[in-house]
Structure 1
Amino acid sequence: MPFESTQPVVPGDRVHLVPGSHNVRDLGGLRTRSGRTVRTGRVYRSDYPSFLEVDATAIARFGLATVVDLRRGTEAAEECIDWGGRGVAYRRWPLTAGRESSWHARYTSYLTRRPETVVGAVREVMRPAAHTVLFHCAAGKDRTGVLAALLLAVLGVGEDDIVADYLLSAASVEPVIARLVEMEMYAGMLADSSVDEQLPRAEHMHLLLRWLERHGGAEAWLVEHGVPAGELTDFRDVMLER
């Protein structure tokens, strides 16, 4: 299907180039279908945030209060920052696609396999008291992309602009993979996968958003799976500029 974004995103406006990581950006800065703007400086998305190991000032600069980790326990055991020692609350809600690997799964699998982990992650990121919050997985593309899509849809950002945000991860794929294959666990996962195969595809995100439409939309799906409607309202109140 044709892809047209109503608001081309210029790297540098929302994308943060930080030593140690390759896919860090602000969830804010996008416009909603009603013309409001998503606030910046409250919610960030990232690949594994090793930039915080490189730059001791980054936590203060980003104002981080909470980190939400979407990785499995085995991944977190392989590498994980001592968040508590840095005064940051750490929450892990592992998104899983079941038998499908995180690299090749259809994104709807994350919502159907263990929806409670998706809901838990969404609720933690939305919670105003948790802000400023950063959520991440290993590459910041698939699991992180699904969570970002849900949050942006709740805020009223249009489909094409959610897809445009998702596609910004393309530039990070090669350096992220180069970092991950240095670890035995990820090297095995990626052994038969090329950079091209790992690139974000617009159709993958469109499929997820159309699936959500058939279930009443992101907000309806979240409410059906236990998210109080008031939490969604509170999230919009703090995230949308008047």
Structure 2
Amino acid sequence: MSLVNFRDPILGADPEGKRIRPGVLYRSAQPFPHADHTTLTLLGDHGIRTVVDLRGIAECEPADWAAAEAAGITVIAARMDPATDTIMAAMRTMTTAVDLGAFYLLLAEQSPDAVTAAVEAAARPGGVLLHCAAGKDRTGLVTALLLGLLGVPAEAIVADYARTGEALPQIFANLAERHPAALNDRAARGAAPAPLLAAPAEAMTVFLDLIRTRHGGSAAFLTACGTTADTLAAFRSKTSKEAIAC
């Protein structure tokens, strides 16, 4: 099976390609049941040379990206583990899309090393794929930070995030089969808060507002996480319309 929820978020952010170069950043759900020939073909067709895995270690299996690594694709583990006490406590009180947006901020704030590793990977030459389990929550917030770094309007970032809602039935079915203990599978079985079962636009709107009001925007937040100015500049340069393909 190929990757579910796979897309280039920059195409939606700048559909005419006037300012941002597409084909350098992609997002998806985790491979199911693992990366196979179809997955490798997809990665190759899109020039993807780096995969960033945002899942916690308990969510991963050795075979997930083994074939990709054997084919020379770099897989970087940027562990954004949802199973910490602080994050699980926030989940227990989550009831609305607003709560989900605040949860995204907490998850990002609690994972500075993972966020920095993801941005450093995104700045590497060639296409880069970001994914977590569903490709919605952790992937969504990191993608939003990267798009915000490029000056993409909030409404375009929100629209890209909300697109994941169309793929959730297939994503949850895959997770229910493979990961009985994973965060998003618990959502599929009804044991997680209702907002985690969807991709509500309001959640991403709230997250972006909080990044702006509490941290001064994506660039300031990423800098506080430990991302260097050189890395931010490298990602901006890579995605510039004037950038030379690597």
**TM-score using structure 1 length:** 0.81
Aligned length, in residue pairs = 220
Provide the residue aligned with 2:161 in structure 1: 166
> Quick check: 1:107 aligned with 2:104?
yes
> Quick check: 1:44 aligned with 2:26?
yes
Contact 1:30-1:38 at 8 Å conserved across structures: no
Contact 2:2-2:42 at 8 Å conserved across structures: no
Query: Which one of the candidate residues 167, 171, 175 is aligned to 1:180?
Result: 175
Provide the residue aligned with 1:219 in structure 2: 219
RMSD over aligned CA atoms reads 2.6
- Partners in 1 of 2:174 and 2:110 — Cα distance? 28
Query: Which one of the candidate residues 94, 101, 116 is aligned to 1:119?
Result: 116
Contact 2:78-2:117 at 8 Å conserved across structures: yes
Q: Could you report, residue by residue, the CA deviation over 1:132-164 in whole angstroms, capped at 9, with x for unpaired residues? A: 111101110000001100000001101111000
Q: Could you report, residue by residue, the CA deviation over 1:165-189 in whole angstroms, capped at 9, with x for unpaired residues? A: 1001010101110111112324556
1:48-197 superposed matches below 5 A: 48-50=30-32, 52-55=35-38, 56-77=40-61, 80-82=64-66, 83-97=68-82, 98-99=84-85, 100-101=87-88, 106-127=103-124, 129=125, 131-183=126-178, 184-186=180-182, 187-188=185-186, 190-193=188-191, 197=195
- Partners in 2 of 1:182 and 1:124 — Cα distance? 30
- Partners in 1 of 2:241 and 2:11 — Cα distance? 10
Contact 2:50-2:129 at 8 Å conserved across structures: yes
Contact 1:66-1:88 at 8 Å conserved across structures: yes
- Partners in 1 of 2:169 and 2:42 — Cα distance? 24
> Quick check: 1:20 aligned with 2:2?
yes
Instruction: State percent identity of aligned pairs.
Output: 30
- Code of the aligned partner of 2:64: C
How far does residue 230 in structure 1 lie from its aligned partner after superposition? 2.5
- Partners in 2 of 1:147 and 1:126 — Cα distance? 13
> Quick check: 1:201 aligned with 2:200?
yes
- CA change 1:195–1:117 in 2 (3 A) is closer
Contact 1:23-1:46 at 8 Å conserved across structures: yes
Q: Could you report, residue by residue, the CA deviation over 1:6-49 in whole angstroms, capped at 9, with x for unpaired residues? A: xxxxxxxxxxxxx43320001322456xx943211111111013
Task: Name the SS for the 1:96 alignment partner.
Answer: coil
Contact 1:174-1:195 at 8 Å conserved across structures: no
- Partners in 1 of 2:27 and 2:55 — Cα distance? 13
Contact 1:31-1:37 at 8 Å conserved across structures: no
- Partners in 2 of 1:31 and 1:86 — Cα distance? 31
Task: Name the SS for the 2:2 alignment partner.
Answer: coil
User: Unpaired segments of 5 or more residues in structure 1?
Assistant: 1-18
How far does residue 60 in structure 1 lie from its aligned partner after superposition? 2.1
